[in-house]
Amino acid sequence: MTGGRLLEQYVLEHIDAEGDYLHRLWRATNVELLHGRMASGHLQGRLLKMLVHMIRPQNVLEVGTFSGYSAICMAEGLPEDGKVYTFEINDEMEDFARRWISGSAVAERIDFRIGDAIVEAPRLGITFDMVFIDGDKRTYVEAYEMALSVVRTGGFILADNTLWDGHVVDEAYDHDRQTQGIEAFNDHVAADSRVEKVILPLRDGLTLIRKK
């Protein structure tokens, strides 16, 4: 095992346990779905739950459900009357995600919808306290602007994959559309005086943004 893997294992052994249900979901995601590593996983899942506890949102918006792992983690940190509204644009994910979300202990706190969050989320008429962006990297700027329009002043926007496996600083990926989308998002947020922001080099990069 390499030094990086050893350190990762050390971290996982010294944080809250993933839990049996989430571990089974993680395994099913990687066995049954393409690109299973897109799921948040143990470390980021526990961080998302902790951030929800810290921010104490009532309503959370998620852009990109994938297998439902991150939605469940965020819902775990919510009060009983809190709600995660999660949108997945790929309807082929519906059966898998809905099954695992419905079977979770926090199913009543998750409103799972198939559709384009950029279009559909504003139609809910809800002011959100927190938004987690983890959808199509090519439309991150559009998702961010939508999020800013629905999140309250002082609310938080989290954006995943903002270091994109290091591709943002690798010229070999300059012509890749998803890398271009992440780079455009990072530049856009860095120049945005409406928010405070910090990038955490966690897994694939997680940007924390606070609306002023």
Query: Does the pLDDT at position 178 exceed 70?
Result: yes
Q: Which DSSP state fits 68?
A: S
Query: Does the pLDDT at position 24 exceed 70?
Result: yes
Question: What's the predicted TM-score (pTM) here?
Answer: 0.95
Hey, which of 36-40, 56-60, 162-166, 168-172 has the most confident mean pLDDT? 56-60
Q: Could you tell me what percent of the chain has a pLDDT over 70?
A: 99
Residue 1 pLDDT: 62
Residue 173 pLDDT: 80
Query: Does the pLDDT at position 152 exceed 80?
Result: yes
Domains and CATH numbers, the chain: 3-211 (3.40.50.150)
Range with lowest mean pLDDT among 49-53, 112-116, 124-128, 199-203:
199-203
- Report yes or no: 195 and 187 within 8 Å, Cβ to Cβ: no
41: helix, strand or coil: helix
Residue position matching structure tokens 């938004």: 131
Residue 169 pLDDT: 86
Residue 43's Cβ-side half-sphere holds a number of Cα atoms within 13 Å equal to: 16
b/e per residue 35-57 (b: at least 16 CB within 10 A): ebebbbbbebbbbbbebbeebeb
β-pairing, 83-88 vs 110-114, is: parallel
